[in-house]
Amino acid sequence: MQPSPAVPAATPTHCPYCALQCGMGLARGAGGVEVVERPEFPVNGGALCGKGRTAPEVLSSRVRLTEPLVRSHATGGLVPATWEEALDRVADGLVRTRAAHGADACAVFGGGGLTNEKAYALGKFARVVLGTSQIDYNGRFCMSSAAAAGQRAFGLDRGLPFPLADVARTGCVILVGSNLAETMPPALRYLTEMKAGGGTLIVVDPRRTRTAEQADLHLAPRPGTDLALALGLLHLVVAEGRVDEAYVAERTTGFAEARAAAMAHWPEYVERITGVPVPQLREAVRRFCAAEHAMVLTARGPEQQAKGTDTVAAWINLCLATGRPGRPLSGYGCLTGQGNGQGGREHGQKADQLPGYRKLTDPAARAHVAGVWGVDPETLPGPGRSAYELLDALGGDVRALLLMGSNPVVSAPRAAHVEERIRSLDFLAVADVVLSETAALADVVLPVTQWAEETGTVTNLEGRVLLRRKAVDPPAGVRTDLAVLHGLAERLGHGKGFPTDPEEVFEELCRASAGGPADYAGITYGRLAEGVGEGVFWPCPDGPGRARREAGGALREAGTAGGAAREAGAAEGAPRAAGGAGGAHPGTPRLFLERFATEDGRARFVPVTHREAAEEPDTEYPVLLTTGRVLAQYQSGAQTRRVAELNAAAPGPFVELHPRLAARLGLADGDRVAVVSRRGRAVAPARVTSGIRPDTVFMPFHWPGEGRANTLTHPALDPVSRMPEFKVCAVRLERAQ
């Protein structure tokens, strides 16, 4: 389905998939809902990948849920029910569990695709209505390591602290563990433009992906060794006298310790660990340091490791030593994956955070948010378990689960174990658009609206807050997630505080975020709808007067070109107003140009050293497995696997392996291969290619069943971010019958 020319009747909105949140329009055509281009939207300039072009197909009643389902007491199967019966059952299940086992026996699990309004309401529901600390979301599996590293180094985390447009104008990009050509195709143009302007692209990936093929230099490290690679590059920067000494002295702290740690990783040692030849290491440093402007961009490759936070810290250290962050057209950024992975964690789904990216353990933050919610701060529970730890606890001291917008049966590490834990629950309720593999296990399934059927905001990987507008009516038997939470809150004794109007929820979210690091207080639906709907970059306070009132203390400089507002006694910041039309804050496209969001305004080097993966190959499991995405599918595939065109392009899982490894095992292209780890077995056809290391195999993770890649993956957790080690584990290969 090709995009049609833009027409006046088209409703401007955004793609429901990745964190680019590409602009598109939706119009009624002869064949139903049609996608039309929005060339004026700056992020994608009208370009869309196949997933965006075919997104309306999931709106069809043929592939989506259109009425509530409940588990039949007679047959054990899911049968249609009224909304009243379904909501009553959910409320009863939660009430009974709480009465028998306590509030923390009820858990909530959200998703990085939920709008800001839904994420905010879900966090509020968990903490105010259920009184549980047990809430997290699948965004923990996305960019939590980069977020933790950014907080440590800069005092503030936003995926990209600059607009994507800056990438096209820089002089060198080191792209670490990202295959943009398949995961975010419209973003590849920024790298293409950068190269056309004379810039250099360096790609770090154990596979020669479509993106790596565009690189001027491709570094192919052994999976799990990205930390050593970054340390080796910093070693060379120091040894070759390429440190920006003036920048380090003026804008950073902690360099001596980070330098000492890096100097223990000399080039030959790093080559032995990573497999990257010393001449390539030297060439990468030469190209990166020769550019007047340069960036490092990381994605899931280095982040989805049990040492992901330290790995990202090492790449940030490289940027700091060469004077990049906080300077125009330079710096460090994280390529957020999920559609609202950025906004989804800023406003309360994450186990340890309150709206506005506030810390749940901070008394001032608790007081502020409790004031907006009209509750006693003492009644707010403390931090709960992280995503995998929460899933692992199901059926133990967590007996009931309300799940919205996630499919952990396919997407979680050690997925067979997670499926077993979900099956052991006393009660499971799932709100989703389709009958996912997880929803199929539920006691109650609630059919909810999706992107084109509702209005709401999302925050893309740049920190750009965007308005997604309702374009079509949902089927008659479908309700919004906000209506679901309202109905449950009413049944649980909280009739007020959970409106169904998304704009009303957003206005409350803005009040709750005011004065916090992710301050949305100056953003309104009206502002987001202005012009061509380019959005507003957070932080965006409502103005000096209100920021001072709501923060309860003095303003102090921090974090951005406009400075920052802090809560009294808190370690959080939000930029103060810096002009704009009619006195409105203009938003903050570029962070850290004057100061970093730390107490002293300086960025912090963090000394880190290489350590092995949680599970290294041995004689029984001699091969490394890494996982990722393919162009035509998205995340757990719950939606994209229902689109014929996408299934034709990517019909099922596969095992990518090098010809030498295939020859050693007697395997040919297309042979069925069993990949076995200590956690289980997955079977898929072999795809033999020289574009992968001989010691490594790759599987995409979009499919359930015997080809489920996450049956194999390791749940070892990063000690800081609690990110599981998706990207490296030990396996063996066998011919499957």
Residues with Cβ within 8 Å of 663's Cβ and at least 6 positions away in sequence, in order, are none
What does the alpha-carbon distance between residue 308 and residue 302 come to, in Å, rounded to a whole number?
A: 6
User: pLDDT per residue over 33-45, tens digit each?
Assistant: 999 999 999 999 9
Q: What is the pLDDT of residues 51-97, one digit of tens each?
A: 999 999 999 999 999 999 999 999 999 999 999 999 999 999 999 99
- Nearest 5°: the CA angle 562, 153, 199 is 80
Residue 30 pLDDT: 76
The second-level CATH assignment, the architecture, of 623-735 is Beta Barrel (2.40)
Eight-class DSSP state of 109? E
Q: How far apart are the C-alpha atoms of 565 and 571, rounded to whole Å?
A: 10
What string of DSSP letters covers 670-707? T-EEEEEETTEEEEEEEEE-TTB-TTEEEEE----GGG
What pLDDT does 337 receive?
A: 82
Residues whose CB is less than 8 angstroms from the CB of residue 150 and which lie 6 or more positions away in sequence, other chains included: 156, 157, 158, 312, 316, 332, 334
**Rounded CA Rg of the chain:** 24
Please give the pLDDT value at position 582: 56
Average pLDDT, stretch 550-557? 30
pLDDT above 50 (res 569):
no
Can you tell me whether residue 318 is helix, strand or coil?
Answer: helix
For residue range 635-685, what is the model confidence (pLDDT) as tens digits? 999 999 999 999 999 999 999 999 999 999 999 999 999 999 999 999 999
**pLDDT interval class at 543 (50, 70, 90):** low
Cβ atoms of residues 517 and 356 within 8 Å: yes
531 Rama sector, left if φ>0, alpha if ψ -120 to 50, beta otherwise: left
Q: What percent of the chain has pLDDT over 90?
A: 90
Report pLDDT for 195: 98
DSSP secondary structure string, 581-598?
GGG-----SSB-SS--SS
Q: Which residues of 292-308 are buried (b: 16+ CB within 10 A; e: fewer)?
A: ebbbbbbbbbbbbbbbb
Tokens representing 644? 């014929």
Residue 579 has pLDDT above 50, yes or no: no
Is 70 exceeded by the pLDDT of residue 1?
A: no
pLDDT of residue 29: 81
d(CA 665, CA 687): 13
- Chain segment 340-387, per-residue pLDDT in tens: 989 988 998 999 999 999 999 999 999 999 999 999 999 999 999 999
What are 61's two structure tokens? 């009643």
Q: Which class does domain 160-334 fall in?
A: alpha beta
373 vs 494, 508, 512, CA distance in Å? 12, 9, 8
Task: Express each pLDDT in 221-271 by its tens digit.
Answer: 999 999 999 999 999 999 999 999 999 999 999 999 999 999 999 999 999
- Contact call for residues 37 and 25 (beta carbons, < 8 A): yes
Measured between alpha carbons, how far is residue 683 from residues 216, 653, 677, 693 in Å? 35, 9, 12, 20
User: What is the average per-residue pLDDT within 557-585?
Assistant: 40
Three-state DSSP class for 12?
Answer: strand
The pLDDT tens digits of the residues spanning 398-410 come to: 999 999 999 999 9
Nearest-angstrom CA–CA distance, 611 and 639: 38
Tell me: domain 69-142+342-452+476-503, CATH 3.40.50.740, correct? yes
Choose between 168 and 544: higher pLDDT.
Answer: 168
Q: In the predicted model, what is the mean pLDDT of the chain?
A: 93
**What DSSP assignment string belongs to 238-264?**
HHTT---HHHHHHHEE-HHHHHHHHHT
Question: What is the mean pLDDT of the segment spanning 556-576?
Answer: 32
Q: C-alpha dihedral over 403, 299, 293, 565, to 10 degrees?
A: 30
Residue 559 pLDDT level (bands cut at 50, 70, 90):
very low
Tell me the backbone φ, ψ of residue 359, rounded to 5 degrees.
Answer: -80, 130
- Alpha-carbon span 551 to 678, nearest angstrom: 51
Give the whole-angstrom CA distance, residue 438 versus residue 635: 14
User: What are the sequence ranges of the domains in the chain?
Assistant: 11-53, 69-142+342-452+476-503, 160-334, 623-735
